[in-house]
A and B are shown apart, each in its own frame.
Chain A
Amino acid sequence: MTLIILLGVSLFAAIILAFVGDRRFAPEVNILGSGATFVASIALAVHVYFEGSMIAGGKFFFVDAFNVYLAVLTAFVSMTTAIFSRRYMRREREHGRVSHWGMRFYHAMFQLFIFAMLLALLTNNIGVLWIAMELATLSTVLLVSLYRTPAAIEAAWKYFILCGVGIAQALFGTVLLYFAAEKVLGEGGDALLWTNLSQVSGQLEPTVLRLAFVFLMVGYGTKVGLVPLHNWLPDAHSEGPTPISAVLSGLLLNIALYALVRCKVLVDLSTGTNWAGKMMMGFGLLSILVSSFAILRRKDIKRMFSYSSIEHMGIATFAFGLGGPIATFGGLLHMLVHSLTKSSIFFTVGHACQMHGTQEITKIKGLIKGNPLVGWGMMLGVMAIVGMPPFGVFTSEFLILTATMKDAPYLAPFLLLGLGVAFAALFRRVQPMVSGPIPDYQTPVKASHIPVILHMVLVLIIGIYMPVFLSDWFHTAVELLK
């Protein structure tokens, strides 16, 4: 029942907002919808925490420790993004960057996007997972082109084509997976159910599963934004509205990684080796190295942080590929803290861009004097994202590094190099933006501080003292992903 409410609210809100999207109270409806979704997700999480994993809706839905924490995270970040976008989008509307239809579109598609992500997380059927991922892509394509500038349309087109093609490869992988599963489980819809697949994974044909994983890796890897399939990501992030960059970085990449990890577990159990894991490690490491050097030379602030997202998804992919209890725990934690931190950074970046009317790093100055909360929010966010203690990212990166030293010590220097370069590059860029006097072209904006403060406090709490229920969840999830 909770499940139906959880999925129903966002779908229902999407329909309502399609009609009232540009009214004065539409942002509040948007907040209300995502708030209700968040409450429902908490209820679901409490249920799973006390009763263990559950199958619902005639085996159609499946909730365990792994996906329920991502569902709560998705609902939470969507809610804070909705709060943030109330003031942000209102200003964009006043400045004429978004039309009447644009606002309507924005609100309806935002809720539809949340629905697609939650469906992808909670479904038991790998085929439906694919459909939901595609729906999530399609609902954001039009959001990326919302400003209708040539650059925005180009970015959205690239996103549409690249992710469409990428995700088509994932469908081919899913077909192959079904082919292997059908031999063991018999025909019909049951052969695509994750719960059934994981029970018989040892009997699945390894050669076919290997072939399937190549396609799944390319397909979902494109959506995760792994190098060399990352081309769409910086464009989509830099040209779309900032709330969309926040949810793309903070949530959509996670969902794609979630799909990849689920498939990886199956393939590795079937082949009896860490073959799929090694592939993920390779892609992950390449992403970390390429993107950290790319951060160095960026001039556009949103583009720079989108490369940082590629880097962090690379770290998480690497951790899941490495496997083992410590690395998997680190990977799960990293997905969580990265989402919280990165979306919070994008909130402050959005306000900084509005204050200066540009996305160029060199033109953004004096943020702390101009608006202390925006300035400090960005500074602390960047400190958190580069892995400074006591923030949560430090904990997860430390865990992943420890596991690397133990299981694959020859890779640790590369990982450290990537982290170090990203650290230096981000700091060098952000320092001049937040400090110094206020330039005369800076205009004050009404900023939303609550989302930023909320996110940063959470990241801090996780870094200093991780709540027991969270580590319980992660431990259960680690067991599931063995």
Chain B
Amino acid sequence: MSVNFAAQIISVLAALVLLTSFGLLIQKRVYGLLHLFAWQGLFLSISTAVVGYVAKQHHLYISSILTLALKVIVLPYILHTLIVRLKIRKEVDTVVNIPTTMLMGIALVIFSYHLTAPIRELSTLVTRSIIAVALATVMLGLLMMITRRHAVTQIIGFLALENGLFFAATSATYGMPLVVELGVALDILIAAFVFGIFFFHISETFDSLDVEQMARLKEEE
């Protein structure tokens, strides 16, 4: 596989990751969100492996497998089990309407390209063109957390945001040192454990996972 060809594959995968980010922004059904999230993890995992192959960075294979295991299998499985157990209704409300969200998302992507311009100039790696996509994924994850008010969607937004960070590490520097990546993966697992417990607490206390109901802690005058 020539470097040029690999760069094109990586670009296509980056485009797919971005596409799934937008998909997450507009998807209303919980299961749909879950599937999109798993797809995003899959694209991420493949692109990491391709980068690892082209750059001859073998530790990236480990990251790739880790992503595959964690983001494509374990986390979607945990979320799926929770959704079934808690009998979450299928439609998810949005705070801002979808066309507006999309426009905001597009603005964020353009902003990401602008912001990462100096890094693209300095970088010599094959992957330099996708740093902007990585930042955009982070921003879109953030946007999703802001515009949705369901606990499950917030968590999926959070995990998509982590995907973006992982993508950024791969594209800007061929991945962080292995110690750090393993640690981050461990943290995400613990976080999954924590929000799992939380879903139960929230649905038990508020009778729903709608975060809008959590508005008791207003600043008193």
Interface residues of A (CB under 8 A from B): 125, 127-128, 130-131, 134-135, 138, 141-142, 145, 148-151, 153-158, 160-161, 164-165, 168, 171-172, 174-176, 178-179, 182-183, 187-189, 191-192, 205, 207-208, 211, 234-235, 238-239, 294, 297-300
Contacts and interface: CB of A to CB of B under 8 A. Distances in A.
Contacts of A164: 158, 191
A309 to B, nearest CB: 16
A172 B183 contact: no
B15 to A, nearest CB: 21
B162 A189 contact: no
Contact of A154 (B142, B191, B216, B220): B216
Nearest to B183: A131
Contacts, number: 132
Contacts of B217: 151, 154-155, 158, 235, 238-239
B93 interface: no
10 contacts: A127-B183, A130-B180, A134-B187, A135-B187, A150-B206, A151-B217, A153-B202, A164-B158, A179-B172, A211-B115
A175 B119 contact: no
Interface in B107-159: 115, 118-119, 122-123, 135, 138, 142, 145, 151, 154, 158
Given A151-B216, A153-B214, 8 more contacts: A130-B184, A154-B217, A160-B198, A171-B165, A175-B165, A175-B172, A179-B119, A187-B174
Contact of B177 (A127, A151, A205, A294): A127
Contacts of B220: 297-300
Nearest to A188: B177
A67 B190 CA distance: 27
Given A157-B211, A178-B173, A207 B118 contact: yes
**Range class of the B interface residue count:** 35 or more
Interface in B189-221: 190-191, 194-195, 197-198, 201-202, 205-206, 211, 214-217, 219-221
B198 A156 contact: yes
A175 B169 contact: yes
Contact of B180 (A125, A157, A208): A125
A155 B211 CA distance: 12
A165 B205 CA distance: 24
A171 B186 CA distance: 15
B177 A172 contact: no
5 closest A-B pairs by CB? A127-B180, A131-B183, A189-B177, A154-B214, A207-B118
B70 to A, nearest CB: 15
B contact face: mostly helix, strand, loop, or mixed: helix
A297 B220 CA distance: 8
Contact of B194 (A138, A158, A188, A208): A138
Kindly name the residue among A131, A149, A211 whose own CB sees the greatest number of chain B CB atoms within 10 A. A131
B175 to A, nearest CB: 9
A157 B151 contact: yes
B176 interface: yes
Contacts of B158: 161, 164-165, 168
Contacts of B184: 130-131, 134, 171
B178 interface: yes
Given A157-B214, A164-B191, A183 B122 contact: yes
B49 interface: no
A81 to B, nearest CB: 22
A208 B119 contact: yes
B179 interface: yes
Contacts of A207: 118, 122
Given A135-B190, A157-B214, A179 B161 contact: no
Nearest to A298: B220
A148 B205 contact: yes
B44 interface: no
Contacts of B172: 175-176, 178-179
